[in-house]
Amino acid sequence: MSTASTDNPRTAELAVSGMTCASCVARVEKVLRRVPGVESVAVNLATEKATVHASAAVTDDQLVAAIAKAGYEAAPILPEAPPAAPASASQAFDRELASVVVSALLTLPLLVPMFGATLNPWLQLALASVVQFGFGARFYVGGYRAVRAFAGNMDLLVALGTSAAWGLSVWQMFAHGGMTEHLFFEASAVVITLVRFGKWLEARAKRQTTDAIRALNALRPTRARVRDRNDPARERDVALADVRVGDIAIVRPGERVPVDGIVREGRTHIDESLITGESLPVAKEPGARATGGSINGEGVIAIETTAIGAETTLARIIRLVESAQAEKAPIQRLVDRVSAVFVPAILAIAFVTLAGWLLHGADVETALLNAVAVLVIACPCALGLATPTAIMAGTGVAARQGILIKDAQALEEAHAIKIVAFDKTGTLTVGKPSLVAFDAAPGQDRDQALGLAAAVQRMSEHPLAKAVVAVANDAPRFDASAARAVAGRGVEASVGARRIAIGSARWLAELNLDVPPTLAARARELEAQGNTISWLIDLDGAVLALLAFGDTVKPTARAAIERLARMGVKSALVTGDNEGSAQAVARALGIPPDLVFAQTLPDDKARVVGQLKASGKGIVAMAGDGINDAPALAAADVGIAMASGTDVAIEAAGLTLMRGDPALVADAIDISRRTYRKIQQNLFWAFVYNLIGIPLAAAGWLDPMFAGAAMAFSSVSVVTNALLLRTWRAQAGAVDEARAGKPITRPA
């Protein structure tokens, strides 16, 4: 055997199929750890992926073979293969739903005897057998794998319980010539149908977990326009894979930047909000860095490529999301833990019951009936319904109130949230630039100056231009002509006989214009608050006014932070904006300065979330709306996305707030807490029925018919308790997004 050292470790990723629960994950991890040279293993049930860190001597074939021995199928994932959503996966999902519907239709007639009517026993046998061995086959397969691994799981519980009910009904049919008053076929069919429905809901959530990665990959441009290496005067349109470090990429207005690089020619503004979270377009000039995936503004620029492929910022974000999704959830499912002990315990009790009655002289029929009664009363109907019914009720009422919960894991974990890390732009703020201050120079009429600024900006579709026009409705209206964008400096136009411009401080310096001391002091004050400063200029040599642009806080944001505090949940601010802007928003909302993390890039945000998790203060949630938030949303115990944000953020999060209202964060935690309490209550009652019913059945005081009735009643009580969640209502009110938001600093 090769003795290759671990000095050259490798990471292998494998797609694993056939896993159905946490027990399956544990078995796959167990067999992989036994492979010589394997250092660590992480198996993700949601993505059906195994990540193995091992020495170079370990081959993919060895890992695949180990998984096959455990009863599952596996295949290596190629490093450059993008995640896919094949049509066959969607078809399999649709077939699963169809199976649930058909199983339910076959089960409905079996409920007729429960209402005093009669149904031919042979018809009951035919219907129940199709459900039991057709639609319930997956539970036998899962149960077999559990037995082979000397473990217990929900599949084994369902297989044993429903088989006992079905087998007892068949025995009674033949023992009484088909004339028995009550059979238990409905018990087995109902359990299988409802559990299959729960599995379908789980599959629906799992199918969406990889959408975040696919959405991120969709941001990668497939082609780039580069200068020919041999003839710089000639440009070529090439596949992105053919671009090399050092190539010069030409990016025209409105195009997505194809590579990470440094601007060598041209001036423009680039929208980097998808990458950095910065709400305002960023000015770029020669020497500035440009990030692949961002969108170019008004100028043509030439970018020297510095990173390609897996080394780009966008590729790193994708890897961060994948890594965070591969981490194990901190909370294990209670039912899976209990089932490992519950199943062998019930089998032992049933065997002892059978042997005990035979030793005491009872006939075989009596002993068998009492033993089967134990299995029937222990059939995990209530146990299997306890969690899914509460989750279905909780997620249903939450959806009606504007809170979409992707999976049960997020719902379970959200109840214990102790700190919420909020992104700023688009989450606590509106995410659109607004004119937060307009100060006229001494001796200038403010309304006249505002009218001149609006006249120049009406010629532009730039977000900052729209912000100026939006607040100038009451100002005098002037007509502008011959508008011209000056790349990297601003825009100018003719207003009557005057040439009026709106531009940067750099343009002021180039024009040798002096800023009045009062305006200069005001500019420094506004910049310290994180605002972007522009100047209204008469090109004949006068500064007319100062303009400050910034974001606006959502009107419900402060109330949301205060309500979270009353619930015992702390709030933090994690943003890519500068320190001044972050602290200004934090002060407006009541977030303490020590919980403000500014100028954080995507990997920094994930790191901050990791630090908050490591602090041991409890479950950490991240609330955000941008692509730059995706790694942090995935790294958090619970990710909360605003539906007004990007698809990537939504897919990476476990919870989505459909109204973009931060007040819904507290509502999401509240419904999670209520749902989790229902799960605990349901499990308690499910076990109480077993604790009372099993001894009665073993003692012969509960025949199978009453055992079936008790089991049915336990299910009804569990479902009824769960449905009480439907009375819950969110406290957050609807928000008119068109008028939401007040400036942090109002125009003077």
Report how far Cα 100 is from the mean position of its chain's Cα atoms.
26
Q: Report the distance separating Cα 641 and Cα 653, nearest Å.
A: 6
Q: Report the distance separating Cα 262 and Cα 260, nearest Å.
A: 7
Q: Report the distance separating Cα 535 and Cα 199, nearest Å.
A: 61
**Cβ–Cβ under 8 Å, residues 387 and 335:** yes
Considering only CA atoms, which of 485, 481, 440, 429 is closest in space to residue 462? 485
**Cβ–Cβ under 8 Å, residues 314 and 293:** yes
CB atoms within 10 A of CB 562: 15
CB atoms within 10 A of CB 126: 12
Amino acid at 690: N
User: Residue holding tokens 């025949």?
Assistant: 703
Q: Report the distance separating Cα 267 and Cα 570, nearest Å.
A: 43
Amino acid at 393: A
DSSP structural state of residue 110: G
What does the block give as tokens for 613? 């998790």
Contact partners, residue 639, CB within 8 Å, separation at least 6: 410, 621, 622, 624, 632, 633, 652, 653, 654, 655
SS (H, E, C) 42-106: EEECCCCEEEEEECCCCCHHHHHHHHHHCCCEEEECCCCCCCCCCHHHHHHHHHHHHHHHHHHHH
Q: Report the distance separating Cα 748 and Cα 736, nearest Å.
A: 25
DSSP structural state of residue 731: S
Considering only CA atoms, which of 586, 579, 501 is closest in space to residue 547? 501
Considering only CA atoms, which of 656, 237, 210, 616 is closest in space to residue 410? 656
DSSP structural state of residue 135: I
Bridge partners (DSSP) listed for residue 440: 545
What does the block give as tokens for 264? 């060598």
What does the block give as tokens for 351? 């065997």
Residue 736, SS3 per DSSP: coil
Considering only CA atoms, which of 28, 33, 34, 31 is closest in space to residue 15? 28
**Cβ–Cβ under 8 Å, residues 491 and 466:** no
> What are the distances in angstroms from CA 486 to CA 303, 535, 622?
19, 14, 40
Q: Report the distance separating Cα 715 and Cα 539, nearest Å.
A: 80
**Cβ–Cβ under 8 Å, residues 427 and 623:** yes
Size of the chain in residues: 748
User: Which member of 155, 260, 336, 423 is catalytic?
Assistant: 423
Whether 423 is catalytic: yes
Task: List % helix, strand, coil for the chain (3-state, nearest 5).
Answer: 50, 20, 30
Considering only CA atoms, which of 206, 215, 213 is closest in space to residue 89? 206
Q: Report the distance separating Cα 65 and Cα 408, nearest Å.
A: 32
**Cβ–Cβ under 8 Å, residues 194 and 385:** yes
Q: Report the distance separating Cα 671 and Cα 76, nearest Å.
A: 40
Bridge partners (DSSP) listed for residue 296: 270
Q: Which residues are designated catalytic?
A: 423
